[in-house]
Amino acid sequence: MPARPLLSLLLAAALLGAALLWPAAPAQAGDVFNRLRARGLVRVCIWPDYYGITWRNPRTGRLSGLDIDLSAEFARELGLGLSYVDSSFGALVDDLLAERCDIAMHAVAVLPVRAEKLAFTRPYLRSGIVAITTRSQRRLKTWDDIDRDGVKVAVQAGTFMEPVMATRLKQAQLVVVRPPQSREQELEAGRVDVFMTDYPYSRRLLDQADWARLITPPEPVHPLPYAYALKPGDAEWLQAADAFVERIRRDGRLAAIAARHGLAVIVER
């Protein structure tokens, strides 16, 4: 058979296979579905510094975490390839609205300021705020010791801890850390006394840094639902992502993968 007809047959077979793998979707698929089919892959925004969620090992370059595993499941169910786009909580809205990625899958807290601009799936995790200090820090023993005069409290720019702590702190000084600086660097250097984070990120320090000490509040502080974020305006794409979250909750994949990454305690029930 001549090369060109053979190539056409192979292409037709590949497209038929992709169509069979694709989950049932409304007859009038939205723009995102059309782009995904044409491109043959789904682009997922991640924050590669999010330990346990979407973390890139600086030594190996390998990605690991709950949402790395779950995004692979999502792409597989869609019958598509998968590519990751490095983002951050500060760049999240711009990256989605500019269509640099199709969905953000890195445990995005559903904040009112984000919900005004983005669409969200149903939540799959829920976490409040915890604090990390050093083992050598003597002034800070309990949560009540943090909001005291002279204490410097760091938060990462763009995270939900920034506006929350700006409101809650009455005596301590809030320090907003922006890239390329990190909260850990500021803490280790002694420029801050403690930093605020969520449960997933705290696991990184507790697992890897022998100098880190966790301070937990007596009651949950500002617990928030975490979900996947999308550009608004495409109901079919949101429905597909939302249905995926429902499936992984019902069939046990979410609980099992979360447990594997030490995050079972924050799975949304």
Q: How far is CA 241 from the centre of its chain?
A: 14
How far apart are the C-alpha atoms of 268 and 13, rounded to whole Å? Answer: 41
pTM for this model (two decimals)? 0.76
Q: Which two tokens stand for residue 6?
A: 């053979």
Q: What is the reported pLDDT for 122?
A: 97
pLDDT in tens, 198-251: 898 898 888 888 999 999 999 989 999 999 999 999 999 999 999 999 999 999
Comparing CA positions, the residue from 67, 131, 146 lying closest to residue 103 is 67
pLDDT in tens, 78-110: 999 999 999 999 899 999 999 999 999 999 999
Hey, where are the domains in the chain? Answer: 30-126+224-266, 129-215
Considering only the top CATH level, what class is 129-215? alpha beta
Considering only the top CATH level, what class is 30-126+224-266? alpha beta
pLDDT in tens, 24-83: 433 333 689 999 999 999 999 999 999 999 999 999 999 999 999 999 999 999 999 999
How far apart are the C-alpha atoms of 204 and 201, rounded to whole Å? Answer: 6
Asked whether the beta carbons of 229 and 92 are under 8 A apart, the reply is: yes
CA distances from 224 to 110, 112, 116, 243 (A): 7, 11, 16, 21
Q: Which two tokens stand for residue 253?
A: 């994949």
Asked whether the beta carbons of 55 and 259 are under 8 A apart, the reply is: no
Q: What is the reported pLDDT for 180?
A: 85
**Other beta carbons within 10 Å of 256:** 12
- DSSP lists the bridge partners of residue 226 as 109, 125
